[in-house]
A and B are shown apart, each in its own frame.
Chain A
Amino acid sequence: MSKNKSYRITLTTFWIFSMMNLATFLSNRQWLPFSKWIDAIYSPLYKLMFGG
């Protein structure tokens, strides 16, 4: 199996992203608050649609 450049980049980036999330969870920090970001984008739209 040839381990090309795309493979190395994808696997390394994915490991880093996974470990960042794991560290965020284990240290009980909010470094990557995806839910808050999603909420910030969609809550105003939801309020517009249904009034809260």
Chain B
Amino acid sequence: MNHTINRWQLVLIVISFIMGSSLLMAPNLTAFFSGQDAWISMIIAVIIGLILNVTWIMILKRYQFRSIFRITEVAGGKVVGTILNILIIFFALHLASYVVRNLSNFMISNVIPESSPWTFQIMIILLAVYSCFYGLNNIGRVNEFLTPFMILFFICSLALTTNQFRFSHLQPFFEQGMLRISQGAYTTTGFPFIEIILLGSVLTYVKNKNKLSKNYLAGILFGGSALILTVFIAVGVEGAYMVKRQSYPTYELMRDISIINIFERVEVIIGVVWIFGILVKIVICLFTALKGLQHLSKFPNYHPFLLPAGLLIWALSNHIHTNSMEFTDFVGRNWTLWWFSLYLVLLVVLGIGILRKKDKNLDQTADDSSQ
């Protein structure tokens, strides 16, 4: 297993993590509350996400970007550290199951309605388990190869819809009031800008850690800007009313692409971009959970945990919600607060660790990154 990645690969992983699953859902989640001001909500969410991540990365920097599982034990002590590590593992597996469910919901509602959700769930989980089996370097390299193409597809797809863009769809600005705009921003702050704290388990494997913080934040800024652009164009082309009504407005938006009746029905391209982002997100979540389990078990590798973790994600993705409406409603209401709780607890424990100068006592020899 090779877990080493370079900084460029990290930036691309951050971009895929941000764009995966949020790309298709962000316009609906924001526009549902803030209507034509959804793009303003998205800008606010990106700013808040950046502020939270600047704080997070500064704290990790104080601990020399060691593995998050090791840092929590150093900062909080054995008992608190172990409890926090179990929490992080649960959050990672829980998130992975939501992302898997997200994919199957999308496939059976928009792409192949007559198929079973299990088909897509099992296929994506197998792929994620296979990728984790070979280590982080594997997904880092696949992502490095595919992400530039995905970004190109994404930009081209958006560009082809701009001929239907109506500026009047975005007016009047700030009509919804600040409470509704904040509510729109709230839903997309946790999803994906707080979830990304899971990359705390990945940063330790980056080869050259100089300017690592800047690279990480640049990835978030790029991914966030892509989401702002998506929401802006989705509302501008379809109008707030239609964006509110559709579960995956970006996908519906691409259905409108029509160039001299030849270049039509290309929406599946954006579906491919999204599914690839989802795969990266699931792999990162699974990798985080596996590294946490490896840390708890003090075993040289995480291979024995691959099978139960895959089964758990599959089981959770099916029994967390009975239908997709309940799923979307739950994510919209609770997801940001749920993830913010973990963020806050980690921030407090690691902050207290810094005040107690625990960040200076990290053993330089025993490093998880060697495993």
- A residues bordering B, Cβ < 8 Å? 1, 3-4, 6-7, 9-11, 14-15, 17-19, 21-22, 24-26, 30, 32, 34-35, 38-39, 42-43, 45-46, 49-50
Contact = CB atoms under 8 A, between A and B. Distances in A.
Nearest to B298: A6
Interface string B336-348: 0110000000000
Given A6-B298, A14-B308, A25-B315, A45 B179 contact: no
A18 B125 CA distance: 15
A-B pairs, top 7 by smallest CB distance, nearest first, are A10-B297, A18-B312, A25-B319, A18-B308, A21-B315, A7-B297, A25-B315
Interface residues of B, number: 29
Nearest to B320: A35
A19 B319 CA distance: 13
21 contacts: A1-B300, A6-B296, A6-B298, A6-B299, A10-B297, A10-B299, A11-B304, A17-B312, A18-B312, A18-B315, A22-B311, A25-B315, A25-B318, A30-B319, A34-B94, A34-B316, A35-B321, A35-B330, A38-B334, A39-B334, A50-B179
B183 interface: yes
B145 interface: no
Interface in B273-311: 293, 296-300, 304-305, 308-309, 311
Mostly helix, strand, loop or mixed at chain B's interface?
A: helix
Interface in B209-257: none
A21 B94 CA distance: 12
A25 B311 CA distance: 11
Contacts of A49: 186
Interface string B162-189: 0000000000000000010011001000
